[in-house]
Amino acid sequence: MTKLVEFIPNFSEGRRQEVIDQISEAAQSVPGAKLINVNVEPSYNRCVHTVVGDPEAVLEAGFRMCQKAVELIDMNHHKGEHPRIGAVDASPFIPLEDMTAKECVDLCNRLGERVAKELQVPVYLYEKAAKRPERVKLQNIRRPEYEGLLELIDKPEWAPDYGEAKMHPTAGAMPLGVRNPMAAFNISLNTSDVAIAKKIAQSFREAKAAMQRPGQSAFIWRTETSARSAA
């Protein structure tokens, strides 16, 4: 049976189409890897690419996308509504056909090591790839955001899993992980009342407990015009 893996990197660019297109071209430059979706959110200033295919091809496509993002995105000038710590943000591998989570963790470690070595971007591993228990949850890594991590990265508890304990001068740091397939959606509310968004988020957390689904999560943030809840 042919092995199939999915890689879904998030990039801190959602307003310059020419940059998004060049990242897409990098993904499409590797035979055996297929770019199946690009989702762009201008208010977040963020885009999400979905690549599937042969594990080795997806691994190479993943590196080429990271390389292009590091070249073109400067976090010193980035503003957006979504939490982020670098030009390449949350980037999970997902096992699909005839793939195990353990095999994806191996891909994750190989990519993290290469990104740190060749691009000089520090890498933090999360979820199933986490090397520290406090880094299993992505939000724990992303909590200080780019600006806060600039001040924290040289502290022992914030040392990256790959690379030196210093931010890339323009690309920041990168969270890289392994997770199961997930259905994700955003709810945009016609209000700036964060309390309402919190109620909606709490309803998902209660459903998670009732259904005993530990992989389900919900969080909220404010955009320029509304509060937003995500699950």
82 flagged as catalytic: yes
The gap between the terminal CA atoms of the chain, to the nearest Å, is 33
State the sign of the Cα–Cα–Cα–Cα dihedral 89, 21, 171, 123. Answer: positive
What is the rounded CA–CA span in Å between residue 231 and residue 35? 24
The answer to whether residues 160 and 203 touch, using CB atoms and an 8 Å cutoff, is no
What is the rounded CA–CA span in Å between residue 12 and residue 171? 9
Tokens of 171: 């690309």
**Which residue out of 49, 78, 82, 168 is catalytically annotated?**
82
203-224 burial, b for 16+ CB within 10 Å, e for fewer?
ebeeebeeeeeeeebbbbeebe
Q: Which residues does the annotation mark as catalytic?
A: 82
